[in-house]
Amino acid sequence: MSNKLTRRYHRDDVQIIKREEAYQGFFRMEKLHLKQRRFDGQWSETFTREIFVRGDAVGVLLYDPRSDQLLMVEQFRPGALYDETQSPWMFEIVAGMTEEGETLEDVVRREAQEEAGCDIEALEKLFSYWVSPGGMDEQIALFLGVIDSRKVTEGVYGLDDEHEDIRVELVDFSEAVRGLQDGRINNAMAIIALQWLQLNRERLQQQWCQS
């Protein structure tokens, strides 16, 4: 049996010498003083890394297998202002940050209501992944949420006290794929979710169109 892709080291092979709060505002940044076990078995010298401490999030691909439509949202993203060649309004899937005391499924259903006024018939956990582990602590838990597109009202949603202004629209699967190909859909969470759907769409349609 192959022993490839087997992790050699684990958490005990890192020493956090000191942890400093570098910044606290809407988000937090910490400065870590670290030692790590090297692949030659020796410990490294102490070095520093700044970590953007954002917390964990969920994303949910809202899809109706019977009509072959997805619910997509469009909203302003200030990080995209740093590329002057692109619009900072992005086409995304519904997502949100986890809060203490909530399960991941609770967060998914809450965000679907807040961002899209949408009820979810069934949930399927896809996987979790790191966003940018070289400098950020955030992990995304990604879900599929089966919806009834006939009960979706397109329009503008979001919470005023969080300055949300979120436009909701139903998109045919074929149009979403074209959005991937031509770059209209260009954020990681939506790309990952839609590529997963390309691989699993036939199974979902067989499951739900025959039920």
Q: Which residue did the predictor score with more confidence, 209 or 50?
A: 50
Q: What pLDDT score was predicted for residue 211? A: 58
- Minimal CA–CA distance to 116: which of 61, 66, 67? 61
Q: Which of 74, 92, 162, 164 is catalytic?
A: 162
Let me know: does 115 contact 30? Beta carbons within 8 Å.
Answer: no
Q: Which residue did the predictor score with more confidence, 40 or 26?
A: 40
Task: State the Cα–Cα distance between residues 168 and 152, nearest whole angstrom.
Answer: 9
Q: What pLDDT score was predicted for residue 210? A: 76
pLDDT, tens digit, 9 for 90 and up, residues 182-211: 999 999 999 999 999 999 999 999 999 875
Mean confidence (pLDDT) of the chain: 94
CB-side exposure of 198: number of CA atoms within 13 Å? 13
* Residue 175: active-site member: no
pLDDT, tens digit, 9 for 90 and up, residues 135-147: 999 999 999 999 9
